[in-house]
Amino acid sequence: MQLTARPTGTPVTATYWMSHAWLGTHVEPGVTLDVAAGRIAGVRTGIDAPPPGATALRGLTLPGLANTHSHAFHRALRSTVQVGSGTFWTWRELMYRAASRLTPDTYFDLARATYAEMALAGITSVGEFHYLHHAPGGTPYDNPNAMGEALIAAADEAGIRITLLDTAYLAAGFGERPNRHQLRFSDTTADAWAERASLLKGGDHALIGAAIHSVRAVPAGQLATVVRWAEERGAPLHVHLSEQTAENDACLTAHGRTPTRLLADHGVLGPRTTGIHNTHLTAEDIELLGNSGTGTCMCPTTERDLADGIGPAAALQRAGSPLSLGSDSHAVIDLFEEARAMELNERLRTHVRGHWTAAALLRAASTDGHAALGRPDAGTLEPGAPADLTTVALDSVRTAGPAPRLAAEAAVFAASAADVRHTVVAGRHVVRDGRHTLVEDVPSALAEAIAALHG
C-alpha cells in the first residue's frame, strides 16, 4: 500500500480495519487503525468497509492482553499434576522434578512453544517470574544468565513482549537453607543475585524487572537489596504473597507479623510492586496494599487448581490496589477464563452478582496488566500506544447471537482462547486467522518440548 505520513514524518507501515473495536468504554463499529514504527499512529471511526490496502480484522478487536504472571516451564505439568489428589506442597514436588530436567536449550524450546500458545490466546505481553537460574546442583552456567536469555529469545521468536522478572530465591523457608531442588534457584545472597541480574539486557520486546519469590524465600534482612535494585532501574517488582496459609503461619512464628506487614516494614510495597495471589489477607494487609498502591495479580485458574482459596480481589481494588491477571502454572492459558473466573469466584464467595463490569475485567486483562509489567502506555487503542491488538471472533458457537454492542460481555463471559482469530504485536501480524505466523505448528512444538523433559 502507499505509505502516508504522520505529522511527525514517521511513515504509516500498516493499516488495520476493525469491524468492531473496544475503545475502553464501548464497542465501536468500523474503526481503522494506522501503525507507524510499531505504534498506533491514528484511529478513525465510522469506516464501514476496509479501505484499499488495509488488513481486515473481523470480530471484536481489543488491546492486546497482558499475562502478568507466568512460570513458562510449568506448562510441562499440565494434566500430569491433575492426576489424583494432593496439596500445593505435593504439587511442588512434581514441579521440582520438571525443573531439574531443564537446560538452556530445552527451556528455550518449551518457552517458545508456550509463548506461542499465549499469542494464539491473544496475549501480547507476558511477565515471566523467572527463578530457574543455574545448572543442577546450583553451579552457575558459563553464561550466568543463560536461562533468562533463553526466555527472552523464546518470547522474541514467538512474537510477544516479555518482562523478565528475575527472581531472588535464596532460602527454603524462614531460616532454612535451600533444599537440593532449590539450589538451581539460589544465588546464595541478595547481593550475588543483584550482581547477576544486573548483567541482563532488555530490548525492543523485552524489559527486565525484579521479583522476590516470597517472604519465606528471601530473608527479611536482604529484602532491601532487591527493592533498591528495582528502584535504581525504575523496574517493576513482583512478589508471591500469602498464597498459602502455611506461609502466613510460618511468617507469624518467625517475625511476629503477616507477610504483608513484613514487606511493608522493609519498603517493598509501592506503585511499582505487584503482589501475586494476595489470597489470605487480614483487613490490615488489605489496607497496607491499597494505601501504598501496590498491585494485585490474581491467577484464578491456578489458585483453584491448587486449592489455594479465593482472594479478596474486590476488597483490594476498593482499597486502591490495581488488579491484573495471570495464567501462572498454565493449567490453561486463557485470559478470558481468568477474567470471568475472578468475577464468578467472587459471586460464589459473596452470593452476590456483578462485582466487575466486562469493561473492568478487560482493563485488568490488558491496561492494568501491562502497567504492572512496566508498560504503562500499553493496553489501549489510542494514538501513541503500542500497536498490540487481539481480535475475538463474534461468530463462533460461544460468541454468536448477542448484539454487537454486547461484544465485550460476550468476550469476557463466553469466549475462550480458541476464539482468538488475530494477534498483532508492534503492528506485526503474529496470529492470522487463528494460525501462528512464526511458529508453524504450535501443538507439535509443545508436544516435542514436553516429551523431551519426560523422556
Find residue 424's DSSP bridge partners.
389, 429
Q: Backbone phi, then psi, for 242, in 5-degree steps?
A: 50, 45
Q: Backbone phi, then psi, for 189, in 5-degree steps?
A: -140, 160
Sign of CA dihedral 110, 114, 116, 117: positive
User: Which of 143, 181, 147 is closest to 164 using CA atoms?
Assistant: 147
Whether the Cβ atoms of residue 27 and residue 21 lie closer than 8 Å to each other: yes
- Confirm whether 328 is a catalytic residue: yes
Find residue 14's DSSP bridge partners.
35
Residue 31: CB partners within 8 Å, gap ≥ 6?
17, 18, 20, 21, 23, 43, 44, 45, 47, 61, 381
Query: Which phi-psi region, left, alpha or beta, contains residue 169 (left: φ > 0; alpha: ψ -120 to 50)?
Result: beta
Please pick, among 166, 187, 308, 328, the residue that the annotation labels catalytic. Answer: 328
Please pick, among 20, 69, 74, 277, the residue that the annotation labels catalytic. Answer: 277
Whether the Cβ atoms of residue 223 and residue 270 lie closer than 8 Å to each other: no
For residue 199, give the C-alpha cell.
Answer: 548483567
Whether the Cβ atoms of residue 248 and residue 258 lie closer than 8 Å to each other: yes
Strands 39-45 and 55-63: unpaired
* Rounded Cα–Cα distance for residues 135 and 143 (Å): 11
Three-class SS of 205-263? CEEEEEEECCCCCCCHHHHHHHHHHHHHHCCCEEEEECCCHHHHHHHHHHHCCCHHHHH
Sign of CA dihedral 394, 395, 399, 404: positive
User: Which of 206, 96, 187, 211 is closest to 149 using CA atoms?
Assistant: 206
Q: Is 318 helix (H, G, I), strand (E, B) or coil?
A: helix
- Confirm whether 277 is a catalytic residue: yes
Q: Is 442 helix (H, G, I), strand (E, B) or coil?
A: helix
Q: What is the number of alpha carbons within 13 Å of residue 207 lying toward its C-beta?
A: 22
* Rounded Cα–Cα distance for residues 32 and 47 (Å): 7
User: Which of 239, 167, 149, 250 is closest to 203 using CA atoms?
Assistant: 149
| Active site residues per annotation | 277, 328
